[in-house]
A and B are shown apart, each in its own frame.
Chain A
């Protein structure tokens, strides 16, 4: 009886130590694979190089040819023609025809996502090209088609009610095993139209806990770890087994302000709150970034970054003066009151991004220093848009991604012209709405952009805190890793395994 137990143990241990396959690249990130449906999980497939869009974007945000070689708009900008690349095959071997592309875009348009907000009226397939007609001119259309929800799948990929059932894309990698929610395996697609990838097999696993991802990078279990928390960036930087990449991206850590709230309706009040924030301290101690945000748009957003703006400063004294000017007087418990109303607000944030609750805790102390009481409500991310819809939100600490569409105008239109779930709230400024629409149509130029950023900097419907940097830890044997600031691709085809 006793011997059998010992034998069992030995057998178990023996099977547990096979060598790790070395021709597979292990990619780890926090995004969970919901289902083969492009509108919910498409961003993973584009990042892993399994599916592609008509247009791509280079690191500076300039659109480059993807499945469409070039695109032109006719005179009045109401109809765009995208000429398709020929000789492109889907993973199931079928050729990519204009009809397939039109059908894919039509399906994408009916589902929640950026395309639904564009003034598209019809998409028609011609021979070797696709024509899209608009209800009124929209210069950013090609940028919208670079969004992951506009990825092109084979007709066989869609099941009942156009729900995605299998992922049949055109990308350099073909899925061999899709196991939602946590893992996906793919191998190089020999029939790919572009240059063949160097790494034969890739495996994606979703690890939601940032500590675990950092440990996997450190212990060498993952070759390509995307999205690290500040502390691990510092720790992994020291270890020689891993190289850490960090690049500024068009995502901004900001406070969404409800201007309808009595305490926040005056711009001076919002400016006071902004002055209370020690952006350098937060950036260096909490986020481990070189410097905090001086305005809404980071330099990485190119044209929208306006150097002439007066940078946001940290001056608690001036903040108190501004608030006294608005009639707030210091109460017994160190909190300001005005005609019976205490200066008490709720800051809503979400734990999906690990740094948000940390910054919330810091903001609570820094606002208390100027007499504002903050209670932190860390909950589900949807509470921000729910709070916006029913007006119950006071302050929301969010990480707004301006790179959803390679051209930030899309996000500006949805956030500030005039308000948006993740943008301004209870704040009316007609001038900014007209300017944004003109830039959207393509006729507004640099002066319009400069005026928009100037309004945002003075009116402060949202209070920027820090510009995000995307972090990536790559194992020693992997070369050629480049972070895409627009978070559209992991750049797997360009990677090379040295060992």
Chain B
């Protein structure tokens, strides 16, 4: 899929900058928030259950009297951290295997592609669920499951781009001029792949965060006391009429973070 065709440069940039701003805003809330307004995401006070915002808890309290602001900040640290860790591992694995498959060709390429296609045929959630069943509800479980799902995307991107570049006259000329594979990678393959990696990484992070939240929403994700976006939403859903702000804050935070990442990824989607 080629990049967004015909979107004038100015608009393309403007969208990416708004995306970056949204992501930065949520990360600032996650990191600086608790420093500005100190508080413990797990501390409960049953008397204050579902009460409105006050200086100590700018977004009010949830059904167990925990400050939603601090739980949201903790959640906005936890989910993106797992997502980024998974995307980094998946990206690295995809990059290395993709380049290796494209460069070697022959059996290595065929086996890796078959494995990637087989994994592609399975819904990501199923793989994550299976891994989660082995390492229930912990961050490493999510990290392993998500890496297993996301590496296929990076692998396919890298392999396609590397094959095209290696077949180009530019690489043939460079080899004739006596340059080794490292130089070829640095000058030809990496500049071609780098922009795609950013797009795929932003997109992968968004998918990972969505998966963690979705699993949390159906009660098979992160375990109860740890603050997690999907889990917060499903816990606060019944109190929708009593405390609408309580449910709205995780919903808006998730939407803002995911919108930011999607804009950052640009409108390219394979």
- Residue positions of A touching B, CB distance < 8 A: 209-211, 214, 229, 231-232, 234-235, 238, 278, 281-282, 284-286, 351, 357-358, 360-362, 364-365, 376-379
Contacts and interface: CB of A to CB of B under 8 A. Distances in A.
B65 A376 contact: no
A376 B223 contact: yes
Contacts of B218: 209
A361 B64 contact: yes
11 contacts: A229-B238, A231-B63, A235-B242, A282-B46, A285-B46, A357-B223, A358-B63, A358-B224, A361-B44, A364-B42, A378-B223
B65 A351 contact: no
Given A211-B234, A351-B219, A365 B63 contact: no
A224 to B, nearest CB: 19
B239 A231 contact: yes
Contact of B65 (A232, A238, A285, A377): A285
B43 interface: yes
Given A285-B49, A351-B219, A361-B225, 5 more contacts: A238-B241, A285-B46, A286-B63, A376-B223, A377-B223
A379 B238 contact: no
A238 B136 CA distance: 38
Contacts of B224: 351, 357-358, 360-361, 376, 378
B268 to A, nearest CB: 27
Interface in B201-246: 218-219, 223-225, 234, 237-242
A66 B240 CA distance: 45
A211 B136 CA distance: 23
A362 B238 contact: no
A130 to B, nearest CB: 45
Contact of B46 (A209, A362, A378): A362
B98 interface: no
B87 to A, nearest CB: 28
B91 interface: no
B49 A365 contact: no
A98 B83 CA distance: 65
Nearest to A364: B225
Nearest to B44: A365
A211 B235 CA distance: 9
Given A285-B49, A378-B223, A378-B224, A231 B64 contact: no
Interface string B24-63: 0000000000000000001110110100000000000001
A211 B225 contact: no
B137 interface: yes
A376 B242 contact: no
A379 to B, nearest CB: 7
Nearest to A214: B238
Contacts of A231: 63, 238-239, 242
A76 to B, nearest CB: 53
The 10 closest A-B pairs by CB, nearest first: A231-B238, A285-B46, A357-B224, A281-B46, A285-B49, A365-B44, A361-B225, A211-B237, A231-B239, A232-B238
Contacts of B234: 211
A76 B217 CA distance: 58
A364 B42 CA distance: 10
Nearest to B237: A211
B44 A362 contact: yes
Contacts of A362: 44, 46, 64
Nearest to B234: A211
A351 B240 CA distance: 21
B238 to A, nearest CB: 4
Contacts of B46: 278, 281-282, 284-286, 362
A285 B64 CA distance: 7
Contacts of A278: 46
B64 A211 contact: no
A326 to B, nearest CB: 27
B47 to A, nearest CB: 8
A364 B47 CA distance: 17
Contacts of A229: 238
Contacts of B63: 231, 285-286, 358
Nearest to A218: B241
Contacts of A210: 238
Nearest to B239: A231
B127 to A, nearest CB: 21
B137 A358 contact: no
A376 B238 contact: no
Nearest to B225: A361
B72 to A, nearest CB: 17
Nearest to B241: A235
Contacts of B47: 281, 285
Nearest to A375: B225
A291 to B, nearest CB: 15
Contacts of B136: 379
A210 B242 CA distance: 17
Nearest to A235: B241
B238 A358 contact: no
A282 B42 CA distance: 16
A477 B238 CA distance: 24
Contacts of A364: 42, 225
Q: Counting chain B CB atoms within 10 Å of each CB, which of A210, A231, A362, A376 scores highest? A: A231
Nearest to B223: A378
A386 to B, nearest CB: 14
A495 B137 CA distance: 43
Nearest to A358: B64
A378 B43 contact: no
B168 to A, nearest CB: 40
Contacts of A211: 234, 237-238
Q: Counting chain B CB atoms within 10 Å of each CB, which of A210, A285, A377 scores highest? A: A285
A432 B68 CA distance: 48
A305 B49 CA distance: 32
B43 A365 contact: yes
A211 B218 CA distance: 11
A442 B137 CA distance: 48
Nearest to B43: A365
Contacts of A285: 46-47, 49, 63-65
Contacts of B44: 361-362, 365
Q: Counting chain A CB atoms within 10 Å of each CB, which of B43, B47, B219, B242 scores highest? A: B219
A316 to B, nearest CB: 14
Contacts of B43: 365
Interface string B240-261: 1110000000000000000000
Contacts of B242: 231, 234-235
B220 to A, nearest CB: 9
A370 to B, nearest CB: 15
A214 B241 CA distance: 12
A360 to B, nearest CB: 7
B42 to A, nearest CB: 7
Nearest to A352: B219
Contact of A286 (B64, B225, B237): B64
